[in-house]
């Protein structure tokens, strides 16, 4: 059995509470869709919730290594089928006016968190819809059981080795939740409040949420990071105000006016404006992400490969990438992005060829084209900094081959809900890698489980047995060269079958006021606001 000890043992510098100064204001690009991390893989929501909840492990600040969090150490069996986590002791839970914890974190909380997602007859299984995107896409087919060994030890037993298991456990949506809080809410007849009024162990606790306007957090003085003297996990401000501004230009202006000390996802075209300002910095971060345009296989015409390939060839991808990513993107036909190992550099986008596209449409019985929709994401993400502009380019390119596309969009939370419900005829979707393993995006957005059920973020409902088999095989071995070869095969299938058009991704820019110290934009996952100060 291989033993992994705490990578970040820190001697407590002081037992006195942290000195807080000021309120940290952050302009975020969308509203949280829920307040329980298990029920979402939405990056906007994760940014909020990862300040409140902790996982057993996490990705190091500003890096890619997996480090201890609620688990201070872990061991892996020789066959790679059992992971045993040793929990930190005396980890305090937050409280609110309806719940005061009677105990610290223990193994019961870990078992509860996973049994809710694993067992369909669990009392909380269907509360708030019962959709657990990351768990269903990455763990459901691999995780056999989660067992309490003792109050501070939990064993995860797999049915086959999973190379990305620890990385998956570091995903923000695998946050540990309180079994005692859940029981209290269930007995009160208000089970849904468990997912709407969060209780975590993280550096900040929930104060208030005004729909589509603002999220307010308070420092949690008893958080475990502060107890062990880890400054990176200690709240250093009097509060956090997350102002929701869906318009990137508004976020820019609010940051320049110092209404927000941190502004997320400005327009890439505004980089020069940010750099010219005296009071802010444009912090550029390489982020591994992939944006895609999904064809809905519930629509009969999109089941025809010729239709999908025609629409792929009709998009001038070089032009789209140059305009939308403002020169900071790269045209690619590979699902795994260039910033990550496993990227298939030789798989290029479909060549721009409107005449060939028209011919394929005619062969498929659409010589006069057809009408459809293109859904444009309403928020700025690394994989798609300007969804509306991208949709307009695609709309114009498709019009040239007789395909008339109506552009559709919704508020971000509603957009995600509707897209996952299968409503998007052609839907723009994508993801940011939360840990450095190629499996994440393909599994989340293109895979189906053993029963043929699409992963929650596989909004086009494409299921390909060969692709799924390759992904499963690649996930069950540890030899990186072999895994790269399998991921290459899988990416080639995606390119040839064209269930999606890969739109690419780019570095991200964050507007950071010069008064802010200690903010490190995440390369994988979400950025922490603990350890951040405001002068």
Between strands 426-432 and 289-295, the pairing is antiparallel
Distance of alpha carbon 421 from alpha carbon 378, whole angstroms: 18
CA–CA distances in Å: residue 249 to residues 269, 301, 335, 461, 527: 10, 38, 30, 34, 22
- For residue 362, count CB atoms less than 10 angstroms from its CB and return exposed for 0-12, middle for 13-18, buried for 19 or more: middle
Beta carbons of 235 and 18 less than 8 angstroms apart: yes
**What pLDDT does residue 372 have?**
98
**What pLDDT does residue 339 have?**
82
- 277 domain residue, yes or no: no
Q: Are 171 and 36 found together in one domain?
A: yes
Among 248, 185, 227, 524, smallest CA distance to 379 is for 248
Distance of alpha carbon 162 from alpha carbon 142, whole angstroms: 7
Cβ neighbours, 10 Å, residue 481? 6
Which whole number is the average pLDDT over 164-183? 96
**What pLDDT does residue 492 have?**
98
Which whole number is the average pLDDT over 62-77? 94
Q: Are 525 and 409 found together in one domain?
A: no
**What pLDDT does residue 11 have?**
27
- 10 domain residue, yes or no: yes
3-state secondary structure 105-164: CCHHHHHHHHHHHHCCCCCCCCHHHCCCHHHHHHHCCCEEEEEEEECCEEEEEECCCCCC
CA–CA distances in Å: residue 454 to residues 171, 173, 427, 462: 20, 19, 15, 7
List the structure tokens of 442: 């393909």
**What pLDDT does residue 29 have?**
92
Q: Find the angle CA(242)-CA(428)-CA(38) to the nearest 5 degrees.
A: 50
Examine the pLDDT at 451 and tell me if it is beyond 70. yes
Q: Are 25 and 118 found together in one domain?
A: yes
CA–CA distances in Å: residue 157 to residues 84, 229, 329: 9, 33, 41
Which whole number is the average pLDDT over 460-481? 94
**What pLDDT does residue 323 have?**
93
Beta carbons of 24 and 240 less than 8 angstroms apart: yes
Across all residues in the chain, what is the average pLDDT? 93
Beta carbons of 201 and 171 less than 8 angstroms apart: no
Examine the pLDDT at 12 and tell me if it is beyond 50. no
- 473 domain residue, yes or no: yes
Between strands 403-408 and 2-4, the pairing is unpaired
Between strands 71-76 and 57-59, the pairing is unpaired
**What pLDDT does residue 435 have?**
85
Distance of alpha carbon 219 from alpha carbon 416, whole angstroms: 30
Q: Are 462 and 397 found together in one domain?
A: yes
- 267 domain residue, yes or no: no
DSSP code of residue 279: S
Beta carbons of 259 and 41 less than 8 angstroms apart: no
Give the range among 100-114, 223-237, 362-376, 443-457 with minimum mean pLDDT: 443-457
Between strands 23-28 and 262-264, the pairing is parallel
Q: Are 496 and 514 found together in one domain?
A: no
Q: Are 63 and 162 found together in one domain?
A: yes
Beta carbons of 430 and 290 less than 8 angstroms apart: yes
pLDDT for 385-419, tens place per residue?
999 999 999 999 999 999 999 999 999 889 999 99
Give the HSE-up count for residue 411: Cα atoms under 13 Å, Cβ half-sphere.
11
pLDDT for 99-155, tens place per residue?
999 999 999 999 999 999 999 999 999 999 999 999 998 899 899 999 999 999 999
Q: Are 475 and 529 found together in one domain?
A: no
Give the range among 45-54, 256-265, 289-298, 431-440 with minimum mean pLDDT: 431-440
Examine the pLDDT at 16 and tell me if it is beyond 70. no
The total of structural domains in the chain comes to: 2
- 299 domain residue, yes or no: yes
Give the HSE-up count for residue 157: Cα atoms under 13 Å, Cβ half-sphere.
6
* pTM for the full predicted model: 0.81
The CATH number of the domain where 124 resides is what?
A: 3.90.76.10
Beta carbons of 265 and 29 less than 8 angstroms apart: yes
Give the range among 207-221, 343-357, 364-378, 443-457 with minimum mean pLDDT: 443-457
**What pLDDT does residue 423 have?**
98
List the structure tokens of 279: 């009071």
Q: Looking at mean pLDDT, say which of 158-167, 190-199, 447-456 comes out highest.
A: 190-199
List the structure tokens of 530: 């603990």
Q: Are 220 and 342 found together in one domain?
A: no
CA–CA distances in Å: residue 1 to residues 76, 164, 168, 478: 6, 18, 21, 16
**What pLDDT does residue 8 have?**
32
- 265 domain residue, yes or no: no
**What pLDDT does residue 450 have?**
85
Q: Are 199 and 298 found together in one domain?
A: no
List the structure tokens of 397: 């390119």
Give the range among 183-187, 336-340, 469-473 with minimum mean pLDDT: 336-340
pLDDT for 304-362, tens place per residue?
999 999 999 999 999 999 999 988 888 899 999 988 899 999 999 999 999 999 999 99
- Helix axis angle for 179-187 and 107-118, nearest 10°, is 60
Examine the pLDDT at 471 and tell me if it is beyond 50. yes
Examine the pLDDT at 37 and tell me if it is beyond 60. yes
Examine the pLDDT at 7 and tell me if it is beyond 50. no
Which whole number is the average pLDDT over 37-46? 92
CA–CA distances in Å: residue 340 to residues 112, 402, 505: 34, 37, 12
**What pLDDT does residue 228 have?**
96
The CATH number of the domain where 360 resides is what?
A: 3.10.105.10
- Could you tell me how far CA 434 lies from the centroid of its own chain? 6
- 486 domain residue, yes or no: yes
Q: Are 384 and 518 found together in one domain?
A: no
pLDDT for 473-526, tens place per residue?
999 888 899 999 999 999 999 999 999 999 987 888 999 999 999 999 998 888
- 272 domain residue, yes or no: no
Among 37, 77, 417, smallest CA distance to 202 is for 37
What domain range is 53 assigned to? 2-253+509-534
Examine the pLDDT at 527 and tell me if it is beyond 80. yes
Distance of alpha carbon 526 from alpha carbon 435, whole angstroms: 10
Q: Are 311 and 399 found together in one domain?
A: yes
Beta carbons of 418 and 410 less than 8 angstroms apart: yes
**What pLDDT does residue 21 have?**
61
Q: Are 469 and 518 found together in one domain?
A: no
């Amino acid at each position: 059995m291989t033993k992994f000890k705490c990578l970040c043992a820190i001697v407590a510098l002081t037992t006195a509470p942290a000195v807080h100064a000021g309120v940290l204001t952050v302009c975020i690009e969308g509203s949280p869709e829920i307040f329980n991390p298990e029920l979402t893989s939405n990056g906007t929501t994760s940014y909020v919730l990862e300040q409140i909840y902790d996982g057993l492990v996490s990705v190091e600040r500003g890096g890619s290594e997996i480090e201890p969090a609620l688990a201070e150490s872990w061991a892996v069996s020789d066959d790679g089928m059992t992971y045993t986590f040793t929990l930190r002791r005396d980890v305090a839970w937050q409280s609110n006016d309806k719940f005061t914890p009677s105990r610290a974190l223990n193994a019961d909380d870990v078992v509860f968190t996973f049994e809710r997602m694993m067992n369909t007859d669990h009392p909380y299984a269907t509360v708030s819809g019962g959709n657990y995107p990351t768990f269903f896409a990455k763990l459901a087919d691999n995780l056999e059981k989660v067992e309490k060994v003792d109050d501070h030890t939990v064993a995860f037993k797999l049915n086959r080795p999973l190379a990305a298991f620890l990385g998956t456990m570091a995903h923000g949506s695998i946050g540990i939740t309180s079994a005692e809080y859940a029981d209290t809410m269930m007995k009160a007849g208000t089970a849904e409040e468990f997912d709407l009024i969060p209780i975590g162990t993280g550096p900040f606790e929930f104060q208030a949420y005004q729909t589509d306007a603002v999220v307010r957090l308070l420092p949690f003085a008893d958080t475990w990071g502060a107890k062990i003297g880890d400054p990176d996990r200690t709240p250093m401000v009097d509060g956090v105000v997350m102002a929701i501004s869906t318009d990137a230009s508004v976020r820019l202006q609010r940051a320049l006016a110092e209404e927000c000390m941190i502004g997320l996802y400005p327009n890439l075209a505004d980089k020069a404006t940010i750099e010219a300002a005296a009071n802010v910095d444009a912090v550029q971060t390489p982020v591994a992400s992939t944006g895609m345009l999904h064809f809905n296989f519930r629509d009969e015409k999109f089941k025809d490969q010729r239709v999908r390939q025609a629409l792929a060839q009709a998009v001038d991808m070089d032009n789209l990438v140059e305009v939308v990513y403002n020169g900071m993107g790269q045209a690619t036909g590979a699902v795994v992005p260039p910033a990550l190992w496993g990227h298939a550099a030789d798989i290029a986008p479909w060549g721009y060829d409107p005449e060939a596209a028209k011919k394929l449409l005619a062969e498929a019985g659409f010589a006069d084209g057809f009408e459809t929709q293109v859904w444009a994401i309403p928020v700025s993400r690394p994989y798609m900094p300007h969804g509306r502009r991208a949709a307009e380019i695609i709309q114009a390119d498709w019009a040239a081959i007789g395909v008339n596309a109506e552009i559709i969009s919704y508020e971000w939370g509603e957009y995600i809900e509707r897209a996952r419900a299968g409503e998007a005829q052609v839907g723009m979707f994508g993801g940011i890698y939360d840990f450095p393993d190629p499996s994440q995006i393909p599994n989340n957005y293109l895979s189906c489980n053993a029963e043929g059920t699409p992963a929650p973020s596989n909004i086009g409902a494409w299921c390909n047995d060969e692709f799924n088999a390759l992904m499963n095989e690649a996930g069950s071995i540890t030899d990186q060269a072999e895994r790269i070869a399998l991921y290459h095969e899988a990416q080639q299938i995606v390119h040839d079958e064209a269930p999606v058009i890969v739109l690419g991704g780019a570095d991200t820019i964050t507007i950071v006021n010069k008064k802010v110290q200690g903010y490190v934009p995440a390369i994988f996952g979400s950025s922490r606001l603990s350890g951040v100060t405001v002068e």
